[in-house]
Amino acid sequence: MRLAQKVRWLWVCCGLCAVAAAAPLAPLPQQLDYHQAKAQLGLRLFVDPKLSADGRVACVSCHLLDAGGAESKTVSTGVFQRQGRMNAPSVFNAAFNFRQFWNGRALDLQEQALGPLHSRLEMDMTEDAIEAYLNAQPYYRQAFEAIYGQGPAGVDQLTDVIAEFQKALITPNARFDRFLRGEIELSAAEQAGYLLFKSVGCVTCHNGINIGGNSYQYLGAVHPVEHHPEHGDLYQRTGREFDKNRFKVPSLRNVALTAPYLHDGRAATLGEALDTMAYHNLGFRLDPDQQASLVAFLNALTGETPRILTEP
Amino acid sequence: MKFAHKIYLAIALALAVGGLFFRADHMTGHLLADHASTLNTLGEMQRLEGALDRQLMQAAFQLYHEYDSMHRLLAGIRAHAEGLQGSPSLQQKAFAGVRQLLDRYQAQIDEKEQRILEFATLNSVIKNSTTHIPALSHRYLSGFDTIDQAYLAEVARVTSVVFIAARSFDDDFLRELSASIERLRGFSFDESQARAREFNAMFLAHAGVFVRYLPRYKAVSEQIRAIASGATLDLAKTRFLAASERTAARIQRIGWGLAAAFVFSIGLIIFFLVFMERQHKELAALHRSFQRAATQDRLTGLYTRFAFERAQQVEIPQQALFLINLDNFIRINDFYGHAAGDGLLRHCAAALRTRFGRESDLELFRLGGDEFGILCRGLRGDRYAVVKDQVVGFAAGLRFSFRDHAIPVETSIAISTEPPLLEKAGLALRQIEHTRTRLVEYRREAGMEAQVEQNLRMLNLLHGAIRDDRVLPYFQPILNNHTGRIEKYECLVRVHDEDGNLLPPGWFLAVAKQARLYGELTCIMLRKCFERFRHTHLEFHINISVEDIQDPKVTAVLHQLLQAEPQTGERLTLEILESEEVANYEAVHGFICGVKRYGCKLALDDFGAGYSNLAQVLRLDVDNIKLDASLVRDIVQNPDLEFLMRSLLEMFRAVNIQAVTAEFVHSAEVLEKVKTLGVDYAQGYYIGKPKPDLVDRPFQGQEAV
């Protein structure tokens, strides 16, 4: 058929235009497109502790917006002082992660937002309780109706606006990003750290735009670590032996701000974290110079405060 | 089929064909657009998957590589697949197979993603260890001073095997590797060899990574290759093309249907057109023949009166109509037969054509049974006079012979120049009948139209008079010359107008005759006279026409009266006009016999005024003869009349006529003369004028008025 030939020719052309190989690391964009009203409402809800069972825990309780989108506690504290088991990951740049949570059980931000809301250890809200609360507040009710039209607001709308808010939580213009864009030179220490980052193999897992957050990897690939069944690794989801101690690689952006480190917060400092990763995952011991260089490099990954938080 | 039904059928067909056309067009458009976009999407998916595979190869090959692109490509493939699944065109039943394949494809892509995620994990681990194994040797080189060569050889072997295994994806080398690892583990290090011990632990950990993960790494790579998502996509494409072709074939069938319906519609239209054209031709031919029949006289070939009137619908000034009437046509027809009559007409027409046919301003018509017309258009200068002379000359010179008999043709000519030409000429012609001249030109002042007006007025009056009982009998006395007494009365019909004025009998009788009111008048007269004479001993005359005799209404009234009042009937004398033609002699004779049975008498009126057919008179068996004014009026001065009268009386006596009455006795001398001659009765103004009442008295001479 002549038409079929034409179409085939067309997609062959497209194929010829296939994108060339990308660099292992990429700078963040200045901004992602997001819905202004939704993001603003999402911000309001993000900081609202009434969305928890005891009325004291908001999203922001564990994802501090002035501390790299995470918290300084080893593991999070939920409603009624319930202790969590995982260290809170940063909400900044989370939109660039290929999955959400340490074990990647949420496909996107919207799905992720439900997790803490329903989790017994975190906010512990039922869907009914959430909807009852949202619709009882005239401000929320009006704001949701302004966005979605008539009708009561539901959990879907709630997670939608929170996800939209998180799209606005990106931290561009880190020194390293500016270096990648050719705007500045790195310092000698940073440069040395960057080279080490690549040569010792950090970059095999921490790559892409988020410098991580795009694959599952083992903690203890070379020197295995003890497996804790209560930790949220992939094994918790799949039960496969293969998935024990297999986690989503966290992003290293703003890593200097988000101590403590690792899924259970076991590393209190960057140095500790680097030592752990070097020994268990890369099978060597960092010497102090190397560690200092890497810390310098990791510090260059700290970006600007998201604009939505600084705007009046 | 009715015309309306044909129209409906045509409209329905047009709608059906139009609808079919738009449906086919719509379907074709959709098919093409869907076809293109679906193939495009499938191609794009293939391209993305190719790119994904290249990413995997790159990730496997390069020591480090970003994994973002894989996720982006997977998301792209998923979005396209879902878009196709949701596209309206693939929801059709024909594409169910394609949808199934897309389902399978999506499942395969899900599977592939899982494997890719495993691959990414193992890939990172393997590659890191691949780089670290030689790097460790470098890092710990300073600690190798006191290490024996066997250990170093083992480390070198492991380094080599690991490189081969990692690059070849071949786990056959793992046994060798495992053996080497065991050997390395068997080496012991003393206190001074702390760095070497550390190296050994690190090195073994990395070598262990290969033993632990390489088989899985290889398996996952093979699993990814084994996922036949590309083949599924190819198959989906093939199925889609096949289904599209089936759909195209269906549309083509609709197209054929459309073409067939179109051809059929055109055929139908052509059929209707041909049919209508034929009908139209027939109608046109019929129309022409009707027109010819209506406008052209079949016998003479001249234009008809219809054609004349049609031509006159537009008023054209300066025209003249010359009307030539064949006066004796009816008599020729009767005498020589219709063949002669027709021959005469044809002859006249031919003669007219010969004489006037070539004149461009003249047109020839046959306007009535025996009337020809010459219409002259455009009367300039002396044209009227010239044509008039020509027409008069033509009429005078008209000769006709039938079977060698020369038949005289009598003509009269009426001319009119005033519209309406024919009506005016007709009026003029009637004038000719009255005046017995041969040529009359219509003139307004000749009162021809007034006559028509008068007739209509009279008719109205007459109708009014009948309705309002203003028809009255007047009685004129008849003197018995032998007894000198007024013994009889002639009852004359008179009509009063609304003001009681008497209408001249000559006027209304003619009108009554024309309007067929004569019988009605006679009936009224019969009833009123019976009424009037019922209680007298007087005899009375009532005029009855031949037409009355043939009018069943009149005879019925008469018979009814005679039957009801025989005594009155015995005194009745019915006067029949001698001058009237007795066409149906038998009927008249029968009537006479009938009334005579009742004792009625019969008189023959106005004897000597017209064509007297004595034999007929005698056969009618009349009792009484009334001598016409023409015989009586001048009898005193004219000895011939006296002689004629004497002879007639002698003859009447011989044939047993009982009584003879002289009319128009207008003086004593005339009365004396008719008395002397032996006329039995006398009637006239000298005896008495008609009066509305009766007198029964001896005659004393002329009454005083």
* pLDDT tens figures, A149-186: 988 899 999 999 999 999 999 999 999 999 999 999 99
- Place A54 in a pLDDT band, splitting at 50, 70 and 90: very high
Instruction: Say which amino acid occupies B76.
Output: G
Residues B482 and B625 in one domain: yes
Residues B413 and B475 in one domain: no
Residues A158 and A181 in one domain: no
Domain of A242, CATH number, reads: 1.10.760.10
* pLDDT tens figures, B132-158: 998 888 888 877 777 788 888 999 999
| Position B622 in a domain | yes
Whether B65 and A284 lie within 8 Å, measured CB to CB? no
CB burial class (10 A; 0-12, 13-18, 19+) of residue B508? buried
Residues B440 and B475 in one domain: no
Q: What is the pLDDT of residue B613?
A: 65
- Average the pLDDT over each of A79-83, A192-196, B701-705 and give the range with the smallest value: B701-705
| Position B285 in a domain | no
> Which domain range does residue B155 map to?
3-237
Residues A140 and A254 in one domain: no
Residues A158 and A246 in one domain: no
- Place B487 in a pLDDT band, splitting at 50, 70 and 90: confident
How many domains are contained in chain A? 2
| Position A187 in a domain | yes
- Phi-psi category of residue B282: left, alpha or beta, with phi > 0 → left and psi -120 to 50 → alpha: alpha
Most B CBs within 10 A among A10, A105, A204, hence the mutation to make, goes to: A204
- Cα angle B263-B265-B267, degrees, rounded to a multiple of 5: 70
| Position A273 in a domain | yes
Chain A residue numbers with beta carbons less than 8 Å from the beta carbon of B132 are 200-201, 222, 282-284
Residues B533-562: what's their mean pLDDT?
A: 87
Whether A218 and B121 lie within 8 Å, measured CB to CB? yes
% of chain A with per-residue pLDDT over 90: 86
Cis amide bond preceding A250, omega within 30: no
| Position B57 in a domain | yes
* pLDDT tens figures, B70-120: 999 999 999 999 999 888 878 888 889 999 999 999 999 999 999 999 999
Tokens encoding B346: 């044809």
3-state secondary structure chain A: CHHHHHHHHHHHHHHHCCCCCCCCECCCCCCCCCCHHHHHHHHHHHCCHHHCCCCCCCHHHHCCCCCCCCCCCCCCECHHHCECCCCCCCCCCHHHCCCECCCCCECCHHHHHHHHHHCCCCCCCCHHHHHHHHHHCHHHHHHHHHHHCCCCCCHHHHHHHHHHHHHCCCCCCCHHHHHHCCCCCCCHHHHHHHHHHHHCCHHHHCCECCCCCCCEEECCCCCCCCCCCCCCCHHHHHCCHHHCCEEECCCCCCHHHCCCECCCCCECCHHHHHHHHHHHHHCCCCCHHHHHHHHHHHHCCCCCCCHHHHCC
Residue that terminates a domain, selected from A167, A185, A211: A167
Residue that terminates a domain, selected from A113, A135, A167: A167
Residues B542 and B638 in one domain: yes
| Position B28 in a domain | yes
Average pLDDT, chain A: 90
Q: What is the pLDDT of residue B301?
A: 87
Residues A223-244: what's their mean pLDDT?
A: 93
* pLDDT tens figures, B560-604: 988 888 888 889 999 887 655 555 677 778 888 888 888 888 888
Residues B440 and B585 in one domain: no
CB under 8 Å to B351, separation ≥6 — which residues? Answer: B394, B398
| Position B110 in a domain | yes
Residues B369 and B513 in one domain: no
Residues A156 and A66 in one domain: yes
The answer to whether the beta carbons of residues B545 and B522 sit under 8 Å apart is yes
Chain B residue numbers with beta carbons less than 8 Å from the beta carbon of A240 are none
Domain of B568, CATH number, reads: 3.20.20.450
- The helix/strand/coil state of B681 is strand
* Predicted ipTM of the assembly: 0.88
Residues B341 and B433 in one domain: yes
Residues B316-332: what's their mean pLDDT?
A: 85
| Position B516 in a domain | yes
Residues B568 and B656 in one domain: yes
- Cα angle B227-B72-A204, degrees, rounded to a multiple of 5: 85
Tokens encoding A281: 């995952």
Please, how many CA atoms are within 13 Å of residue A306, restricted to the half-sphere of its CB?
Answer: 26
- CB contacts under 8 A, A 11-50 vs B, are 11-12, 14-15, 18-19, 21-26
Separation CA B485–CA B463 (nearest Å): 38
Buried/exposed B387-414: b ≥16 CB within 10 Å, e otherwise = bbebbbebbeebebebeeeebebebbbb
Residues A40-58: what's their mean pLDDT?
A: 94
If you count residue pairs, one on A and one on B, with CB atoms under 8 Å apart, how many are there?
138
| Position B85 in a domain | yes
| Position A72 in a domain | yes
Residues A155 and A193 in one domain: no
Residue that terminates a domain, selected from A134, A167, A200: A167
φ, ψ dihedrals at B145, nearest 5° = -55, -45
The answer to whether the beta carbons of residues B643 and B624 sit under 8 Å apart is no
Residues B194 and B328 in one domain: no
The answer to whether the beta carbons of residues A209 and A173 sit under 8 Å apart is no
Residues B474 and B509 in one domain: yes
Whether B415 shows a pLDDT value over 90: the answer reads: no
Residues B226 and B344 in one domain: no
How many domains are contained in chain B? 3
Chain A residue numbers with beta carbons less than 8 Å from the beta carbon of B71 are 98, 214
Q: Which has more pLDDT, A163 or B254?
A: A163
* pLDDT tens figures, B641-663: 888 888 888 888 888 888 889 98
Residues A147 and A233 in one domain: no
Residues A45 and A133 in one domain: yes
- Average the pLDDT over each of B39-43, B176-180, B358-362, B491-495 and give the range with the smallest value: B358-362
The answer to whether the beta carbons of residues B584 and B605 sit under 8 Å apart is no
- Cα angle B376-B381-B382, degrees, rounded to a multiple of 5: 70
Chain A residue numbers with beta carbons less than 8 Å from the beta carbon of B70 are 214
Residues B320-324: what's their mean pLDDT?
A: 88
Average pLDDT, chain B: 85
φ, ψ dihedrals at A261, nearest 5° = -120, 170
Q: Which has more pLDDT, B567 or B546?
A: B567
> Which domain range does residue A109 map to?
36-167
Whether B700 shows a pLDDT value over 90: the answer reads: no
Nearest CA in chain A to B56: A21
Q: What is the pLDDT of residue B424?
A: 81
- The helix/strand/coil state of B540 is strand
Whether A12 shows a pLDDT value over 50: the answer reads: no
